[in-house]
Amino acid sequence: FIRLTAVSLLQKINPFFPNGRIIGGENAVIESFPYQISLEYLGYHTCGGSIISAHYVVTAGHCVDVRAAYLTIRAGSSLKGQGGSVHQVDKIIRHEQYFTNDYGVPHYDVSLLHVKQPFQFDDSRQPINLFDVAEESEPGVKSIITGWGNTGKGSPIQLQTVSVPIVSKTICNNAYSKFGGIPEGQICAAYYGVGGKDACQGDSGGPLSIDGRLAGIVSWGNGCALAKYPGVYTEISHYREWINEHAELGQ
């Protein structure tokens, strides 16, 4: 999750990877979210991600500014940094148009990671089905966010989950107008006007699911769980064809 901060006269967003948090969430077990993985950099949790096939994980583009040799994926564990199975990343496919604008907002914020050893599917490791091409995430519909990190009361090892409603693109675009609005191909979720529940830095790349299917990827926002600034997520349906092609999922 890239957090917006004030930098001189220009407001920008800065990436904060390992010390993330799910605000307002509760403990979860991996068997309830078996697609959730921990992306580790030199053995340390750095981002989340979602299993989409035996060899591929989808995550955020801004999570992969390093060589594949430094990255491993921990799957099948509710606990950060321990348990489950560890898989070496041997290929990174970041969207070819990925960039950040003058405010630091990421565009085309999606990547695929190929693992050398395939995931062995069981109760704690399963691929998640994806939203279809052009499928809309309706405003008001509840979504589920999962990840690890600081809850605001310390840094838990246990997987966290929180439910937040989808916010209309019009409202979200207006909220972020001074940062250039939200990029095409992104959606928002929050208790808008209330705050208190959100994903935050360190949860980058992790899943936003609706009815058990992947609808979004944790991307960026202004602060964490602030009433007037929803969390922003890469929209899976917008990139479904790109994912299908590069992860060889078929249609």
C-alpha angle 196-239-38 in degrees, rounded to nearest 5: 55
Q: Identity (one letter) of the amino acid at 222? A: N
Alpha-carbon distance 178 to 240, whole Å? 29
**Alpha-carbon torsion (243, 245, 246, 248), positive or negative:** positive
The contacts of residue 228 (CB under 8 Å, 6+ apart) are 175, 192, 193, 195
Q: Which residues are catalytic?
A: 62, 109, 204
**Cα–Cα distance measured from residue 91 to residue 69, given in angstroms and rounded to the nearest whole number:** 9
Q: Check if the beta carbon of residue 205 is closer than 8 Å to that of residue 217.
A: yes
